[in-house]
Amino acid sequence: MIPYGRQDITQADIDAVVSVLQSDFLTQGPMVPKFEAQVAKHVGATYALAMNSATSALHVACKALGLGPGDWLWTSPITFVASANCGLYCGAQVDFVDIDPNTYNLCPQALARKLEQAERDGTLPKVVVPVHLCGQPCDMKAIQALARRYGFSIIEDASHAIGGRYQGGFIGNGRYSDITVFSFHPVKIITTAEGGMALTNKAELAEKMALLRSHGITRDPAQMTHESDGPWYYQQIDLGFNYRMTELQAALGISQLERLDHYVAYRHQSARRYDELLASLPVVTPWQHPDSYSGLHLYVIRLELDCLRVSQRQVFDSLREQGIGVNLHYIPVHTQPYYQCMGFRMGDFPESERYYREAISLPMYQTMTELQQDAVVNALHKALRL
Ligand SMILES: *Cc1c(COP(=O)(O)O)cnc(C)c1O
Tens of pLDDT, residues 249-305 = 999 999 999 999 999 999 999 999 999 999 999 999 999 988 899 999 999 999 999
| Residue range 51-70: mean pLDDT, rounded | 98
Q: Ligand 1 within 6 A of 294 CB?
A: no
CA angle in degrees (0–180, nearest 5) for 230-232-234: 95
Which atom in ligand 1 lies closest to the alpha carbon of residue 329? 15
How many Å apart are CA 347 and CA 76, to the nearest integer?
15
pLDDT at 385: 85
Which atom in ligand 1 lies closest to the alpha carbon of residue 195? 7
Q: Ligand 1 within 6 A of 327 CB?
A: no
pLDDT at 291: 87
Integer-rounded Cα radius of gyration of the chain: 22
**Residue type (1 letter), 347:** G
Q: Ligand 1 within 6 A of 156 CB?
A: no
Best of 183, 188, 245, 252 for a ligand 1 pocket test (most atoms within 8 Å of beta carbon): 183
Residue 386 has pLDDT above 80, yes or no: no
Using the mean position of ligand 1's atoms as its centre, give its distance from the Cα of residue 54 in Å. 5
Q: Ligand 1 within 6 A of 373 CB?
A: no
How many Å apart are CA 245 and CA 250, to the nearest integer?
7
* Contacting residues for 288 by C-beta, under 8 A, at least 6 apart: 136, 294
Q: Ligand 1 within 6 A of 192 CB?
A: no
Using the mean position of ligand 1's atoms as its centre, give its distance from the Cα of residue 50 in Å. 14
* Contacting residues for 285 by C-beta, under 8 A, at least 6 apart: 274, 275, 278, 279, 301
Q: Ligand 1 within 6 A of 249 CB?
A: no
Q: 299-303 and 359-362 as β-strands: parallel, antiparallel, unpaired?
A: antiparallel
pLDDT at 290: 87
Best of 185, 187, 197 for a ligand 1 pocket test (most atoms within 8 Å of beta carbon): 185
Q: Whole-number mean pLDDT of the chain?
A: 97
Domains of the chain: 2-257 (3.40.640.10), 260-384 (3.90.1150.10)
Q: Ligand 1 within 6 A of 54 CB?
A: yes
Using the mean position of ligand 1's atoms as its centre, give its distance from the Cα of residue 107 in Å. 20
Q: For the whole model, what pTM was predicted?
A: 0.98
Q: Ligand 1 within 6 A of 80 CB?
A: yes
How many Å apart are CA 51 and CA 69, to the nearest integer?
24
252 neighbors 16 (Cβ within 8 angstroms): yes
Q: Ligand 1 within 6 A of 82 CB?
A: yes
Using the mean position of ligand 1's atoms as its centre, give its distance from the Cα of residue 80 in Å. 6
Q: Ligand 1 within 6 A of 185 CB?
A: yes
Which atom in ligand 1 lies closest to the alpha carbon of residue 131? 13
How confident is the model over 305-355, as pLDDT tens digits? 999 999 999 999 999 999 999 999 999 999 999 999 999 999 999 999 999
Tell me the pLDDT band of 236, cut-offs 50, 70 and 90.
very high
Preceding omega of 150 cis (within 30 degrees of 0):
no
